[in-house]
């Protein structure tokens, strides 16, 4: 269990009920020109107000992140002894250099071998020797994300360490792992389900679930610029390229620019860090469908921006990217399921393919079709549909007629919880799933 604390730090439970870490050095001959230390004041909370177990343990760290990488300045762990959220924190941090860096706080709550809550990296902004951070949200670990993301066939995994413990998240379940003997590489198995495990060898991962072994595993790669995002109330916009971050906020009244100094990824999130004349910017792009709060238009990423002016939440990426480069198979027309085969046992092919040039095409149960499409800030529209004129036996013709009518009336689209495409119009909605490769 991690007890190491940087330097001669001690952890105290004070009468004021604040976890305080005294980072003052015992060395009397400390250099006078060392960077000034600063004090961090914060409060960890989660809105659900669920009681933490009596044996809950808190991990806290502050890192400095710059062009040369990441350095941990302060790290400690301590038992909460039954205390509940909100958990006040107060501790000092001693920077190691005057080089331009971002300071980030992260925290976790564990109990026995369970990972209960996590924060994301939270920007620390010292002013006159104190960083008053206010409330910091403790998220569910799967919601927040941790470790390295992996895609193993249809299964999405998160696998990595929190403190000194290893965890695996799959199918919305979190499993603590322990190393077990392996002929080669490193093998981990779940402590609460011996049918769940990971075998890591030569940088490759095999996911084991019961008698099923998924070896076609690929790392979830970091996102790359150029990227953009934005949000509402107040309106804001962020633009990133390989060298700069540009943030326009307060409905266009405030413009902030920063030089890109570091990019890193964790699970499904890529974080871009910049430093400018008006301070640091930390922009997090997470691979998760995000709907614009004003229009409902889905985007491929949720975006969180932290900077001197506060925190902004919104969406990022192009809605078009949720549609293109996918072969969609229609499974429902309104309440009617589309059968996979007809009475002749031949496949009923009803497909949709969007391309990046504004065209949509596919099979309409009997004939091939094509049309133009347009995405606006408000929704999705389909131009006049052209189709071949071959005749087919029922139910293909009636299915095709309904499909083409609904397609021509599409007004907007959405992405469902399982990644399905939902096309919505006045006569209802059609649902499509990604076709197997």
Please give the pLDDT value at position 287. Answer: 97
Q: Give a yes or no: residue 399 inside a domain.
A: yes
Token pair of 70 as six digits: 């990441």
Please answer whether residues 19 and 91 qualify as being in contact, where contact means their C-beta atoms are separated by less than 8 angstroms: yes
Task: State how many domains the chain has.
Answer: 4
- pTM, rounded to two decimals: 0.89
Nearest to 106 by CA among 119, 91, 94: 119
Mark whether 326 and 428 lie in a shared domain. yes
Mark whether 306 and 348 lie in a shared domain. no
Please give the pLDDT value at position 17. Answer: 45
CATH number of residue 73's parent domain: 2.60.40.2990
Q: Label residue 220 exposed, middle or buried (CB < 10 Å: 0-12, 13-18, 19+).
A: buried
Token pair of 201 as six digits: 């060898």
Q: Mark the ranges of the chain whose per-residue pLDDT is less than 70.
A: 1-34, 193-194, 437
Nearest to 354 by CA among 324, 315, 376: 324
Q: Give a yes or no: residue 369 inside a domain.
A: yes
Please give the pLDDT value at position 34. Answer: 61
Mark whether 308 and 340 lie in a shared domain. no
Burial 403-421 (b: 16+ CB within 10 A, else e): bbebbeebebbbbeeeebb
Please give the pLDDT value at position 25. Answer: 43
Please give the pLDDT value at position 144. Answer: 94
C-alpha dist (Å) from residue 42 to 109, 131, 137: 15, 8, 11
Q: Give a yes or no: residue 366 inside a domain.
A: yes
- Distance, in Å, from the CA atom of 38 to the CA atom of 104, rounded to the nearest integer, reads 13
Token pair of 179 as six digits: 């190393």
- Distance, in Å, from the CA atom of 272 to the CA atom of 107, rounded to the nearest integer, reads 20
Residue 417 belongs to domain spanning: 322-434
Token pair of 203 as six digits: 């940088």
Mark whether 93 and 192 lie in a shared domain. no
Q: Read off the pLDDT of residues 169-196 as tens digits, 9 standing for 90 and up.
A: 998 899 999 999 998 999 999 977 668 9
């Amino acid at each position: 269990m991690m007890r190491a604390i940087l330097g001669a730090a001690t952890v105290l439970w004070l009468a004021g009920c604040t976890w305080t870490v005294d980072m003052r050095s015992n060395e009397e001959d400390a250099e006078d020109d060392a960077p000034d230390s600063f004090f961090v004041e914060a409060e960890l909370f989660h809105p659900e107000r669920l009681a933490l177990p009596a044996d809950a343990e808190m991990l806290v760290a502050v890192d400095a992140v710059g062009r040369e990488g990441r350095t941990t300045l302060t790290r400690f762990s301590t038992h909460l002894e039954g205390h509940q959220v909100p958990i006040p924190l107060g501790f000092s941090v001693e920077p190691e250099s005057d080089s331009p860096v971002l300071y980030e706080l992260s925290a976790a709550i564990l109990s026995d071998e369970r990972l209960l809550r996590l924060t994301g990296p939270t920007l620390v902004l010292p002013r006159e020797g104190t960083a008053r951070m206010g409330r910091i949200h403790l998220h569910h670990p799967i919601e927040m994300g941790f470790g390295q993301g992996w895609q193993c066939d249809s299964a999405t995994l998160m696998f990595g360490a929190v403190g000194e413990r290893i965890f695996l998240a799959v199918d919305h379940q979190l499993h603590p792992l322990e190393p077990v003997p392996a002929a080669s590489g490193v093998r981990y198995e779940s402590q609460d389900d011996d049918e769940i495990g990971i075998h890591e060898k030569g940088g490759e991962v095999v996911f084991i679930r019961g008698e099923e072994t998924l070896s076609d595993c690929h790392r979830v790669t970091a996102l790359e610029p150029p990227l953009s995002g934005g949000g509402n109330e107040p309106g804001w916009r962020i633009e990133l390229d390989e060298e700069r971050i540009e943030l326009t906020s307060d409905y266009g009244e405030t413009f902030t620019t920063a030089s890109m100094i570091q990019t890193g990824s964790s699970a499904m999130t890529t974080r871009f860090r910049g430093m400018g004349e008006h301070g640091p910017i930390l922009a997090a792009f997470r691979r998760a469908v995000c709907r614009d709060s004003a229009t409902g238009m889905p985007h491929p990423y949720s975006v969180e921006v932290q900077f001197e002016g506060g925190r902004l939440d919104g969406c990022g990426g192009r809605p078009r990217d949720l549609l293109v480069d996918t072969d969609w198979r229609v499974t429902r027309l309104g309440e009617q399921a589309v059968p996979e085969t007809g009475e002749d046992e031949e496949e009923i092919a009803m497909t949709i393919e969007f391309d990046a040039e504004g065209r949509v095409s596919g099979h309409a149960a009997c004939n091939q079709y094509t049309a133009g499409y347009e995405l606006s800030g408000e929704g999705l529209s389909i131009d006049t549909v052209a189709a071949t004129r071959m005749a087919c036996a029922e139910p293909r013709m009636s299915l095709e007629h309904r499909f083409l009518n609904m397609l021509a009336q599409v007004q907007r689209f959405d992405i469902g919880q399982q990644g399905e495409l939902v096309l919505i119009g006045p006569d209802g909605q059609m649902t499509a799933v990604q076709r197997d490769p």
